[in-house]
Amino acid sequence: MPIAIINDTCIHYRTEGDRSLPALVFSNSLGTDLSMWQEQADALAGRNFLVRYDTRGHGLSASPPGPYSIDQLGTDVVALLDHLDIEKAHFCGISMGGVTGLWLGVHAPKRLNRLILANTAARVGTADGWRTRAAAVRAQGLGAIADSAASRWFTPEFVQHQPAVADAMANKLRGQNYEGYAACCDALASADLRAEIHAITAPTLIVAGAADPVTTVADAEALRSAIPGALVAALPASHISNVEAPAQFTRQLLEFLA
Ligand SMILES: O=C(O)CC1=CCC(=O)O1
């Protein structure tokens, strides 16, 4: 279980594949952990040096008291690259992980090769919405958020046909650290990169879920028009598109990184 002490915080990560291959970093969404990328890791470990990590406040990484900020989530990645002696990497982040990717595109362009931004936006939801959620989680824990997770993350058809996958992810959320989750809601409350993302120079692929109610296809189009040269692919999925449409997601990754 590799742990790096990064910005005074224990960050859990996992590497796979040959170090001589181009590095590819995966960043998880709110309430999940690095295991969400298993399908992509299985497909890509022969082609890339994979680095998966648990965003602070998630999985086996530490959950120091919040609020966190998007600058912190982004500088954690830069420090993890330093720790692993990686000069430049591809970066694939989903939802909150995608916001981290946008931050890296703006603030750490020299550390990036290609950028894959899935189910994300330069401004996800509203500051009030995230502050209300953070307060509710600090007061009541993660039970209610976990109970409703499947409906935010997946289409009803997916939940019906793959109940074990949806339940396993919701149960994992139930077991997360509530302060870490709330502190990441604080980070999303204050993250608004809309005025900055035009400066991104990394070749960028935006992956949308055609049925995503959280970060919509319109959000993906807004990213595409702001980021020079960005491409968009819409998959038949809701918010956690790499789990709901794993084969299509992986194909997009492979084609974009080829
Ligand atoms: O609300 C959710 O659970 C979905 C989500 C929003 C940001 C993120 O990373 O996940």
Tell me which residue has its CA closest to atom 8 in ligand 1: 30
* Pocket flag, ligand 1, residue 173 (CB < 6 Å): no
User: DSSP assignment, residue 110?
Assistant: G
**What are the structure tokens assigned to 205, written together?**
């692929």
Query: What is the rounded CA–CA span in Å between residue 194 and residue 213?
Result: 20
Q: Is residue 84, in this structure, part of any structural domain at all?
A: yes
- Strand locations in 103-258, DSSP E? 112-118, 204-209, 231-235
* Pocket flag, ligand 1, residue 170 (CB < 6 Å): no
Is 191 buried (19+), middle (13-18) or exposed (0-12) by CB count in 10 A? buried
As for how many domains the chain has, the answer is: 1
Dihedral through CA 136, CA 137, CA 140, CA 141, nearest 10? 170
Q: Domain range for residue 251?
A: 3-124+192-257
Q: Is residue 161, in this structure, part of any structural domain at all?
A: no
State the average pLDDT over residues 65-90. Answer: 98
Dmax over CA atoms of the chain, in Å, equals 47
Q: Is residue 132, in this structure, part of any structural domain at all?
A: no
* Pocket flag, ligand 1, residue 75 (CB < 6 Å): no
Provide the pLDDT confidence category of residue 1 given band limits of 50, 70 and 90.
Answer: confident
Question: pLDDT tens digit string along 28-37?
Answer: 999 999 999 9
Tell me which residue has its CA closest to atom 10 in ligand 1: 30
Q: Is residue 85, in this structure, part of any structural domain at all?
A: yes
Q: Is the ipTM of this complex over 0.90?
A: yes
What rounded mean pLDDT belongs to the chain?
98
Q: Is residue 166, in this structure, part of any structural domain at all?
A: no
Query: What is the rounded CA–CA span in Å between residue 15 and residue 53?
Result: 9
For 255-258, which contacts have Cβ atoms below 8 Å and span 24 or more sequence positions? 256/114, 256/116, 256/203, 256/205, 256/231, 257/22, 257/24, 257/47, 257/48, 257/90, 257/114
Q: Is residue 129, in this structure, part of any structural domain at all?
A: no
Q: The domain spanning residue 27 has which CATH number? A: 3.40.50.1820
Provide the pLDDT confidence category of residue 199 given band limits of 50, 70 and 90.
Answer: very high
Q: Is residue 116, in this structure, part of any structural domain at all?
A: yes
* Pocket flag, ligand 1, residue 95 (CB < 6 Å): yes
Dihedral through CA 152, CA 250, CA 11, CA 91, nearest 10? -110
Question: pLDDT tens digit string along 210-253?
Answer: 999 999 999 999 999 999 999 999 999 999 999 999 999 999 99
* Pocket flag, ligand 1, residue 98 (CB < 6 Å): no
Is residue 116 within 8 A of residue 26, CB to CB? The reply is: no
